[in-house]
Structures are given as structure tokens and as C-alpha cells.
Structure 1
Amino acid sequence: MPLPQPVPPSWKDLGKSSNDLLGKDYHFNGTSLEVKTSTPSNVTFKVDGIRDSKTSLVSGNLEGKYSDKAHGLTITQTWTTNNTLRNQIELDNQIAQGLKLDTTTTIHPEKNTKSVLLGAAYKQPGLHSRAVLDVFKGLTLTADTVLGRDGFLIGAEASYNVTEGRVTKYSAAAGFSAPEYAVTFHGLSNLSTFAASYYHRVSPDVEAGAKAVYDTNAPSPTVALEVGTKAYLDSAAFIKAKINNSGVLALGYTQALRPGVKASFGLALDTQRLNDASPAGPAHKVGAQFVFEA
């Protein structure tokens, strides 16, 4: 008897292992602070802010989330420092098993802009599909589906403008995922941008990955390549390093100081401009993040 197939990742999570390895925990664009608290009544609050090291501007978000797991209901409200109000209501596994419905509204009073997104996601063994209707953006419907079997994944995404009656965007992807490694290929933006990513858990303490992107619409199309690794020093600390074909080396160090308190430090070095004597100086960056959770 064949083993039951797991639920495949969603379209946006294809290649997530490699993207997280190369994109997360590199805090070199400024100093940020994140505070998370929760109440016994299943309400969580998150306040985060960042001071950009280049512009010295401070931006932040205030988020409150209420979860009723017994009824599959989640309500999230966010208020940003640029005066954007965002509300999201999610209902999971209530109408049908594996079906999740959500509504997201965004209002920017100063710019007099607003958006409403109606979404539905359906998950079953071997299938993960989602559709989102953008009510105010020309009534645009975006749908994606990922099929999986024995580790092999294939997916596609398309956007259809209901008002104009035409497909405005389409993409496709294929890959293979296993507990120790994953390979993903994407054809994005109407198959004009191609990306390939690779992730490998070398050992319980070491991870490695790479990503290559080729944009045919670029003025001078070239392959953008990035490779990186992550190593756990112990149960409370890890380091990360990556470098791209432009010669930018990024380093990250994360340390759990105590339960609920975490500090991360990042550094980016332009290795091609280490001895740059121009007035602007080398394009090096340094930053830090502190997270408090209670």
C-alpha cells in the first residue's frame, strides 16, 4: 500500500528553505527592535521598529492578533508609522476540511487609497491551491496550485483581469523536496525571469544553499548568483555567511541571551571596494536586531 502523500508547500513557499537561508538573519540595514507579548485570552501583540542606517528614518508597526483555535478564527490588525491600517480575518477548517478563507483590507487615509483582498486556500494530500481576488485592482483574480508526489513538486500561478478579460501574469515552477535537501526552478513574470535554488542540510549543525536568477528583461542580462551557509555553534547561537557574484559578503550572528531574548548582528562588506578612497567610501553596512518575547 502506498504511503499517504503529504500536503505540498504553497506557491509562495516553493524554495523557502533556500530563501530563508539566504535572506533571513542578516540585519545590516540598521538597528531594529521587536517586542512580542501574549495574554491568557489568546491575544498577542507585536511592536517592531527599525532605524535605517542610511536615511536615519525610523519606521515601525503595531500588530494585535486574536486567535480562537476551537473555531478556526484569527483576527489580525496592524497600524504602521506611515498611517496604514490593515485588517485580516481568517477562518480555517470550518466550512470544509482543508479550506481556509480570509479577507484582508488596507486603508491609507492620507493618500486616500484602499484595497480589499478576498482569499481562499485549499489543502489536501498532494494538493495546495489558493485564489485571491483583488476587488479594487481592476477586479483581478490571482490563483496558484502546487501538486506534489513522492517529493516531486510542480506548480503554476496566473493573474486574470476580470474587467479587461485577459491574463496579466503567469509563472511556473518545478522542484524536488526531501528532508535533507531541496531543488526548485522558477519561471516568473510571464516566463521572462528564471530562478534556480538549492538547499542542503549537510549535517544537523550545518546548512548550505545557493540561488541563481536570470532576468531576460534586464538592460544587460546576466546571471545573479548567491551562495551561503549556516552553522550552529550550540543550541543558543548560530552564524550565517553568504556572498554574491557582485562581491558583497554578508555575515550574521544570532544569540539567544535567555528564554525570550534574542540578539542578532549583521555585517555586509563590498569586497571589491575594501580600499576605496572615494568620498562616499566603501559600501559597507552594519546593523543589529533585538527581539523580546513574553
Structure 2
Amino acid sequence: VVLFFASSIVTMAVPPSSTNVDQIVKDIFSKEFKTSGSMNMDTNRVTGTQENQYKWPQHGLTFTEKWTTENTVGAGVCVEDKITKGLKLSFDTMFSPNTGKKRNILKTAYEREYLNAGLDVDLDFAGPTLHGAAVDGYICWLGGCQMTYDSAKSKMTQGNISLGYKTENTQIHTNIEDGKGFFGSIYQKVNDKLETAMNMAWRHDSDTTSFGIAAKYQLYSSASISAKVNNSSLLGLGYTQSLRPGIKLTLSALLDGKNINAGGHKLGLGLEMET
């Protein structure tokens, strides 16, 4: 893993992780359309997940349990800021009784003023797979890399390089993935009510290009609407309403503009509860 270090005059707070560098753009495109359950109208198949967390703050411990309608169960434990400040260690396990398939992941993350680095180990019986990443911040600039090494195949299977620029109201992010594709995104907070975003991608191995635009508008303190459209004529619409503290309702739709009169459109209903 290549780590990008800056000098001691860095003023940026802890940078985001490599998977969250453009998270605010992902939220505008995706978060308003995400639910914890779904139903396929063509097959009448319903899927969903249930996750619970139990925290023991005086010891820095968090226990997690997860269940899905695909009959997959999972559990995890996380300890934070106990060995040293900024270090987070966690272990997650997933098990499917139907197939007997198991997955165990050991995760480490380290955060400090100008560095956010992590190393995850997927404990596969054929040989562990290592996922490493690091993001460094200097003033308003972000630079980082991400890699995956498959010990069973004795080769690197993924290598990404990212560069970003972040201010209070603007974010720009670019990423080169495995030397085969270029990805970029722009976020702009126009005012206290309106946020906009754009993303684009080009892959030279398949010579394909894609792009999309999205916006989120805060109607009032407890409700917002959002919309997105891409070059494949997919139109997404969403409405989010906070019913009361800790309870949020989301309605969403994804329409295929090329086949308005045909099937394939998606509707979503999400209810998010926090206690």
C-alpha cells in the first residue's frame, strides 16, 4: 500500500476514507433511493435486512448483528481508540445456513489529522485477500490509493489512484481504476436548500461513456425531494420525510425513459428507525 504523507503544516481535519472521498455525491445519487427492503413486481420477490447495534462506550466496543431475508446471518465486534488514538479494529462474520458459505473479515483503520489509512483481510480458506487503502489531505487537496492483493492467485487484482479537492461548498473527485477507466464527480452546495452533483465515467477497454446529474432540494427542515437522470434515460425521483425524531420515511421511483410504456420501472418505500 502506498501512503501519501504531508508535512507538519497540514491544516485539514481527518480526511475521508478512500471509499468515502466522493460520498456526498454518492448520497445525492443513491441515498435518497435506498431502502432496507425491496419487492420485485415481476417476480413478487421481497427482500430485506435487519441490523442491530449494541454499544459499550466506556470500553470503546460496538457489537453488531445482521439478518437478511436471503437467510444470511452476520455478527461483528469493533473496538475503537483503545490501543491508540485513531485506531479502529473490527471483525465481521457472515454465514448462510442454506449454502454453508462463510465469510470472515478482519478490518483495521487508522485516522489522524492528515491521514486516513486502512487494511482489511478477507480470511478465505483458499488464501486471504488483502484490501489496502490510504487517503492524505493537504489544505483542500486529497490524494489516495486503493489496492487488492489475492494471495491465492499471488497477484494484485485491483489498483486505484484518486485525487480530489474539497471545500465547504464544493467537492471535485477523480479516480483512475486499474488503468482501464476514468471516473469523476463534482458536488456543489448552491445554498442552504439546494445541492447538485454530477458524475461521469469512461472506460477505454470497452470504450463506453456514462454520465449523470442529480439534485436535492430541502423543502423544509423535515422533508426533501431529489431527482437524478443519466445518459441511459433512467430517471430517479425521491421524497424523504422525517415523521418524528428517529423515524424517517422515503418514497422513491426509478423510471426507464426509453420504455415508459413497458415494464421494468421500480418503486421503493423505506422506513428508517433509530433508537
TM beyond 0.5: yes
Find 2:259's aligned residue among 251, 273, 291: 273
Q: Secondary structure at the match of 2:32?
A: coil
Q: Please, which of 183, 208, 226 is the counterpart of residue 240 of structure 1? A: 226
> 1:91/1:52 Cα in 2 relative to 1: closer, same or farther (>3 Å)?
same
| 2:70 pairs with 1:89 | no
Which amino acid is the alignment partner of residue 31 of structure 2? K
Q: Unmatched 5+ residue regions in structure 2? A: 1-7
Unaligned 5+ runs, structure 1: 33-47
| 4+ residue runs over 6 A deviation | none
Distance 2:66 2:268 in 1: 25
Which stretch shifts more, 163-172 or 86-95?
163-172
| CA pair 292-89 structure 1, distance change in 2 beyond 3 A | closer
Structure 1 pair 209/135, CA: closer, same or farther in 2 (3 Å)?
same
Of residues 165, 179, 189, the one that matches 2:154 is 165
Q: Deviations over 1:187-235 (max 9, x none)?
A: 12x22122100100000100000000112333xx221110011111111
1:246 shift after superposition:
1.4
AA matched with 2:214: G
Which residue type is aligned with residue 267 of structure 1? A
Aligned mates of 1:54, 1:181 — CA distance in 2: 41
Aligned residue identity for 1:60? G
Task: Report if aligned partners of 2:37, 2:48 keep a CA contact under 8 Å in 1.
Answer: yes
- Structure 1 residues 120, 261: closer, same or farther in 2, change over 3 A? closer
Distance 1:282 1:107 in 2: 35
Q: Which residue of 1 aligns with 2:110?
A: 122
Alignment of 1:1-294 (within 5 A): 2=9, 4-26=11-33, 48-136=36-124, 138-188=127-177, 190-218=178-206, 221-274=207-260, 276=261, 281=262, 283-294=264-275
Q: Distance in 2 between matches of 1:3 and 1:117?
A: 33
TM-score (norm: length of structure 2):
0.90
Number of residue pairs the alignment of both structures matches: 267
Compared CA separation, residues 51 and 160, structure 1 to 2 (3 A): same
Identity of aligned residues (%): 29
Match of 1:44 in 2: none
- Structure 1, 155-164 or 88-97: larger mean CA deviation: 155-164
Closer, same or farther: CA 62–291 of 1 in aligned 2, 3 Å: closer
1:243: how far off?
0.9
Q: Give me the CA root mean square deviation.
A: 2.0
Q: Shift in Å at residue 165 of structure 1?
A: 3.2
C-alpha distance in 2 between matches for 1:156 and 1:235: 37
